[in-house]
A and B are shown apart, each in its own frame.
Chain A
């Protein structure tokens, strides 16, 4: 307990940054992932190709390499400078979006084709057919795997520690300097991650109940 209470400042900063990284990149990866998922089922071949290419390239690259690119490759491109936290968010969003897109595409495939036909038959164009009829049902049917992706994202935020972002994964290194026992620190970090994931799981149960679609 002493390890935690004496270093509450580091723990607070660490987990606050973890939550910020998670929320911001979660938000952007859901949006980007939905767009890419929609591209992959689009009637326009160029969009489909782009979507497939994006998913296959980024998903097949280790997250650490994606982070490396933004931390060390990006500054050499001569573009406006971004700090490490922002580049971590960009890397996490771009990476996680591929998983969101694939989960969502699976969800789109579970929606009976008649739903889209009925939407088109009353005169809805492709975009509205997708956003009003298909995607809402697709999201509902893939809530469990979608939350698995979000939980993975929460844990993936620790990779950012390697790039000087003070988040939960970096707590051990900081406290090692203060002479705290590494194992105890790691157990506390693990404990708080379990708490965060449990909160996410509660959220998942809430949405599953609220959005239960009977067929």
Chain B
């Protein structure tokens, strides 16, 4: 069975399944994200939301189903996959800045090695991006010398340096101290306002309210409910979503 990406979708996930041993972590997942749309994926831990996010640039393999990025089917391996990944920015929970490279080198590496941009241009662009996320002062330092919030903003700049078509955020603030969460969320809100297509796995309901076009609620490997943030938070339809939200609000 071959299918095609629906026109207008930048990211199209179709009937995707995956198991971890006995656990059916992605159960027949369908998700389409339009260009410029900000989709926030929420749900209890173990619901498969991170796995879904990682599957979209194939850091996780899938067993069945298909994923399209900008109309192109996600290749299985090799240089074609590498090229497609260059179009998909990824921000990780644990930042994953290259520990042996300076902040500036972290941001310029992709453009220089993957896109063949010359060093001078890459550095100029990188400094502009670091300025934009507010860490240009730190350019010559090593990642370990920065706070978590600063590292995560650099990670966002590193992803943006590839001029991606879509940005994936896998719980970008979950490893941060509370006082650093907002500095990262502010950058993300601004990015959303600038029209970036974003898929954000997060526990930050404030961000979902403020920046999301659509909230996708996952539980037990399934997409249980999706709606606008307004509709989802004020009037959830499923009992799973009601239960999840009530647990959040009691604290």
Q: A residues touching B (Cβ–Cβ < 8 Å)?
A: 43, 112, 114-115, 117-125, 128, 132-133, 136-137, 140, 211, 213-215
Could you tell me the distance between the alpha carbons of A88 and B79 in the complex, rounded to whole angstroms?
41
CB distance from B65 to the nearest CB of A (A): 21
Residues facing A in B150-190 (CB within 8 A) are 155, 158-159, 162
Give the Cβ gap from A96 to chain B, nearest Cβ, in Å.
Answer: 25
Q: Which residue of B lies closest to A116 (CB)?
A: B96
Interface-centre pick from B59, B83, B155, B158 (highest chain A CB count, 10 A)? B59
CA distance A120 to B8 in the complex (A): 27
Q: Quick one: CB contact mask for B59-95 with A, threshold 8 Å, 1 for yes?
A: 1000000000000000001110011111111101010
Question: What residues on B are CB-neighbors of A125 within 8 Å?
Answer: 78-79, 82
With A117-B59, A132-B109, A214-B145 as contacts: A124 and B94 at CB distance below 8 Å: no
CB distance from B51 to the nearest CB of A (A): 13
Does B120 make an interface contact (CB < 8 A)?
no
Q: Is B144 an interface residue (CB 8 A)?
A: yes
What A residues does B158 contact at CB under 8 A? Answer: 118, 122
CB of A122 within 8 A of CB of B85, answer yes
Give Cα A159 to B211, complex, Å. 70
Assess whether B82 is in contact with A114, with CB atoms less than 8 Å apart.
no
Chosen A-B contacts, 9 in total, with CB atoms closer than 8 Å, are: A114-B92, A118-B98, A121-B59, A121-B85, A121-B88, A122-B86, A124-B110, A125-B78, A215-B99
For A122, the chain B residues whose CB sits under 8 A away are: 85-86, 90, 109-110, 114, 158-159, 162
Inter-chain contact A114/B94, CB cutoff 8 Å:
yes
In-complex Cβ contact of B144 among A115, A137, A215 (8 A)? A215
- What number of residue pairs across chains A and B have CB atoms under 8 A from each other? 74
Cβ-defined contact, B144 with A214, below 8 A: yes
Name B86's contact: one of A43, A123, A133 (CB within 8 Å). Answer: A123
CA distance A132 to B82 in the complex (A): 15
Of B85, B99, B159, chain A has the most CB atoms within 10 Å of the CB of B99
The listed residue (A115, A123, A140, A211) touching B98 by CB distance below 8 A is A115
Name the residue of chain A whose CB is nearest to the CB of B161.
Answer: A122
Distance of B150 from chain A, by nearest CB (Å): 15
Find the A residue at minimum CB distance from B107: A122
Q: CA A82 – CA B143 in complex, angstroms?
A: 50
Closest A residue by C-beta to B84: A123
Which residues on B sit within 8 Å (CB–CB) of A117?
Answer: 59, 92, 96
Contact call A120/B98, Cβ cutoff below 8 A:
no
**Complex A-B, nearest 3 residue pairs according to Cβ-Cβ distance, in ascending order:** A123-B86, A214-B144, A122-B110
Q: Report yes or no: B159 in contact with A120, Cβ–Cβ below 8 A.
A: no
How would residues 23 to 56 of chain B score, 1 for a CB under 8 Å from any chain A CB and 0 otherwise? 0000000000000000000000000000000000
Most B CB within 10 A of own CB, among A117, A123, A133, A214: A123
- A133 to B113: give the CA distance in the assembly, Å: 12
A121-B90 contact, Cβ under 8 Å, with A128-B113, A132-B113, A214-B142: yes
| Residue ID in chain B nearest A120 by CB atoms | B85
Measured CB to CB, the nearest residue on chain A to B91 is A121
Q: Within 8 Å of chain A (Cβ to Cβ): is B97?
A: yes
Say whether, besides A114-B94, A132-B113, A121 and B99 are in contact (CB < 8 Å). no
